[in-house]
């Protein structure tokens, strides 16, 4: 079933570390060989062995209209004919910026970059430059890219100064990062007790990198109050949830207003892009208006801007899309849960708009420790069984799945049937 992919993986491993350009793609947590993809079409992926899959990963989120969407494809092709990059301003940047600023109450101005990692890295620098403070608070289990100051692991206490979780990251760069527990306000209060030098608190308001784990409204309200009290900025990392959970991401669900927001994924329509934006008094501190430096030769790349514009305008003109995507996500998770219950396999599920997640656990998952206590061995078996049945799911228990508009009710039903068969296989 995967003979050509096995050969391709072996060949890639000769020239690329681990055979992949992003670690999770190596299937290390689920075992087996990653299928090498040849093409995508709508809701489907096709690998080099000729296998077809219903794709519930959708390039980890950005393809809300599925693969090879006609409107996005045409926008990319027409723009590419005029040139791939100029390193100079284009009107496309302003058009996309207008769309974002118009939609988000919390964003007065926005700066485009090339990735989510770059967006967060820049937002943190801006927060430090604006407040004149050095420390940041992040939450165990929230992923904000691979910049040095964010690659930390939790220490012995609920709130501790971070230590590097990757070789190559000096402790001097992470000593200003404090770790707290997601959905636990007391752990954040301890961080503020530990340090009077906190510039910002950064959070995924809908965490998608420890599985799908939303923050409670009370927790977000508490963060807003703490930041106000201590003169720190509140940053929402919506690289994954922006334009995915709702048209305005988590901010379409919560009443809490952040000071800065990071975006990505959907605003590129499948092209590499990221962005950060916020209040005008904060954003005007950014170079060339202010002293906080940030730059990028390919930032605002015209092809990426065109893809993002096509994607956002389709979403803006068809808000009912989110209702339909949400219904499909809920139906899929209800089916997975029923399949697990039928075989007496513990499973908990979560849905936020077109995002879905599930843990093989008998308790609700509220933070990273809860996620880590889930049954990852059963997850790996489930992933393998579903893949063999043509269902392409996220290859880690700590990732999120996505529904696209290209998915039909019949596809959802096919995935549920595959789940019943796979759960039966696991139980047997």
Looking at the chain, the domain(s) classified CATH 3.40.640.10 span 70-317
Looking at the chain, the domain(s) classified CATH 3.90.1150.10 span 3-68+320-427
- Out of 133, 138, 190, 265, the active site residue is 265
Q: How much is the pLDDT for 160? A: 39
Q: How much is the pLDDT for 155? A: 31
Q: pLDDT for 176-188, tens place per residue?
A: 899 999 999 999 9
Specify the pTM.
Answer: 0.94
- Interhelix angle for 321-342 vs 409-427, to 10°? 20
**Dist. CA 344–CA 337, nearest whole Å:** 10
User: What mean pLDDT do residues 231-250 have?
Assistant: 96
CB 311 within 8 A of CB 64: yes
Token pair of 5 as six digits: 């992919």
pLDDT over 90 percentage in the chain: 88
Sequence-distant (6+) residues with CB within 8 A of 377 are none
Q: What's the CATH fold of domain 70-317?
A: 3.40.640
Q: Is the pLDDT of residue 7 over 80?
A: yes
Q: How much is the pLDDT for 156? A: 27
Q: pLDDT for 40-96, tens place per residue?
A: 999 999 999 999 999 999 999 999 999 999 999 999 999 999 999 999 999 999 999
Is 143 considered catalytic here? yes
Q: Is the pLDDT of residue 15 over 70?
A: yes
User: What mean pLDDT do residues 269-279 have?
Assistant: 96
Residue with tokens 């605003």: 267
How many residues make up the chain in this entry? 428
Q: pLDDT for 365-421, tens place per residue?
A: 999 999 999 999 999 999 999 999 999 999 999 999 999 999 999 999 999 999 999
Q: How much is the pLDDT for 159? A: 36
Q: Residue 165 — very low, low, confident or very high, per pLDDT cuts 50/70/90? A: low
Q: How much is the pLDDT for 171? A: 73
Q: pLDDT for 121-164, tens place per residue?
A: 999 999 999 999 999 999 998 988 877 677 665 332 333 344 55
Q: How much is the pLDDT for 174? A: 75
Q: How much is the pLDDT for 143? A: 87
Q: How much is the pLDDT for 312? A: 96
Q: pLDDT for 203-218, tens place per residue?
A: 999 999 999 999 999 9
Q: How much is the pLDDT for 172? A: 72
User: Taking all residues of the chain, what is their mean pLDDT, rounded to a whole number?
Assistant: 93
Phi, psi of 89 (to 5 degrees): -65, 145
CB 176 within 8 A of CB 202: no
Q: How much is the pLDDT for 161? A: 44
- Out of 55, 135, 237, 259, the active site residue is 237
**Dist. CA 229–CA 259, nearest whole Å:** 14
User: What mean pLDDT do residues 250-275 have?
Assistant: 96
**Domain 3-68+320-427 CATH (choose: 2.60.40.10, 3.90.1150.10, 2.60.120.330, 3.40.309.10):** 3.90.1150.10
Residue with tokens 């096919």: 414
């Amino acid at each position: 079933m995967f003979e050509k992919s096995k050969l391709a993986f072996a060949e890639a491993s000769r020239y690329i570390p681990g055979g992949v350009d992003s670690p999770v793609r190596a299937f290390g947590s689920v075992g087996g060989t990653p299928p090498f993809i040849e093409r995508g079409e709508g809701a489907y992926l096709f690998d080099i062995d000729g296998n077809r899959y219903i794709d519930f990963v959708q390039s980890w989120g950005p393809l809300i209209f599925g693969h090879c969407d006609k409107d996005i494809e045409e926008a990319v092709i027409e723009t590419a004919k005029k040139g791939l990059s100029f390193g100079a301003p284009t009107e496309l940047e302003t058009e996309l910026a207008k769309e974002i600023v118009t939609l988000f109450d919390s964003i007065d101005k926005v700066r485009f970059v090339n990735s989510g990692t770059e967006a967060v890295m820049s937002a943190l620098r801006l927060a430090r430059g604006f407040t004149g403070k050095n420390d940041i608070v992040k939450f165990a289990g929230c992923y904000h890219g691979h910049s040095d100051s964010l690659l930390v692991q939790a220490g012995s206490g609920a709130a501790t100064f971070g230590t590097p979780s990757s070789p190559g990251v000096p402790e001097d760069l992470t000593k200003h990062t404090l770790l707290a527990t997601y959905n636990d306000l007391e752990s954040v209060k301890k961080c503020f007790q530990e340090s009077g030098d906190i510039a910002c608190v950064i959070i995924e308001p809908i965490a998608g990198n420890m599985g799908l784990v939303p923050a409670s409204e009370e927790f977000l309200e508490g963060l807003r109050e703490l930041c106000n009290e201590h003169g720190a900025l509140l940053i929402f990392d919506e690289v994954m949830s922006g334009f995915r959970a709702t048209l305005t991401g988590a901010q379409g669900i919560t009443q809490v207003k952040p000071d800065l927001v990071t975006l990505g994924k959907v605003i590129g329509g499948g092209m590499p892009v990221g962005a950060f934006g916020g209040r005008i008094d904060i954003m005007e501190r950014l170079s060339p208006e202010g002293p906080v430096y940030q730059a990028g030769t390919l930032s605002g790349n015209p092809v990426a801007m065109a893809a993002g514009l096509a994607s956002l305008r389709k979403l803006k003109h068809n808000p009912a899309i989110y209702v339909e995507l949400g219904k499909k996500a809920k139906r899929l998770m209800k089916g997975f849960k029923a399949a697990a219950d039928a075989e007496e396999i513990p499973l908990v599920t979560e849905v936020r708009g077109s995002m879905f997640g599930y843990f093989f656990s008998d308790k609700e998952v509220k933070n990273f420790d809860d996620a880590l206590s889930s049954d990852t061995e059963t997850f790996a078996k489930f992933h393998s069984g579903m893949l063999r049945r043509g269902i392409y799911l996220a290859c880690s228990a700590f990732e999120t799945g996505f529904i696209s508009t290209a998915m039909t009710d019949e596809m959802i039903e096919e995935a549920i049937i595959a789940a019943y068969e796979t759960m039966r296989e696991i139980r047997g």
